[in-house]
Amino acid sequence: MALTNDDKQWIKEAIVEGVNGALETIVLPRFDAVEADISELKRDVSGLKEDVSVLKEDVSKLKEDVSGLKEDVFSLKNDMREVKSRLDSVESDIREVKDRLNGIESEMREVKNRLGRVEGELQALTNDIEEIYDVIYSKPNKTLMSASFAKMSSKEKLLVINEELLKIAKDTGVVLPR
């Protein structure tokens, strides 16, 4: 049997209606779901773009902060070099002062030794003078007790006393300093 044009038209319409129905039943809900997913993805991408924009701003600020920190670190390094240089200078000065102090201590020991010797010599002289004084005043010296001595000038008296002192020192074996 041969199909007429009406039959062909009817089959064609039936197929188109079936395909349209199938499309509406099967494909359109999937397209709707895909469109919903795409809308959601667009919203997510838009949110991500905003987040990326904020992150870019944050990264830009961080770069500025890091740049500032680099400058601060550079400045601190320079300051530390200067502090180290000054510390080295202070240490050198301290070593120099220590060397000078050691020299002064050595000189002080030498001065103390000399002073000890001078004190010993002074004590010996004091003892000698005391002995001479005892000798002079233990025996009355006729020359010093005479009336003519009392009439002498101070200069003459000193010369006589010196002469008597030299005699006594010679008699007792004492050597007087000159």
Look over the chain and give the mean of its residue pLDDT values, rounded to a whole number: 85
171 contacts 132 by C-beta, under 8 angstroms: no
CB neighbour list of residue 168: distance below 8 Å, 6 or more residues apart: 132, 135, 136
Lowest mean pLDDT among 25-34, 36-45, 58-67, 150-159: 25-34
Site of tokens 């005391």: 130
Q: pLDDT at residue 27 above 80?
A: no
Of the ranges 55-59, 74-78, 150-154, which one carries the lowest mean pLDDT score? Answer: 150-154
pTM of the model: 0.40
pLDDT at 98: 94
Residue 172 and residue 177: Cα distance in Å, rounded?
Answer: 15
Neighbours of 169 (CB within 10 A): 16
Structure tokens at 58: 């944050």
Q: What percent of the chain has pLDDT over 90?
A: 28
Q: Kindly state the tokens that stand for 81.
A: 């070099």
Mapping DSSP onto H, E and C, the string for the chain reads CCCCHHHHHHHHHHHHHHHHHHHHHHHHHHHHHHHHHHHHHHHHHHHHHHHHHHHHHHHHHHHHHHHHHHHHHHHHHHHHHHHHHHHHHHHHHHHHHHHHHHHHHHHHHHHHHHHHHHHHHHHHHHHHHHHHHHHHHHCCCHHHHCHHHHHCCHHHHHHHHHHHHHHHHHHHCCCCCC
| Amino acid type, 176 | L
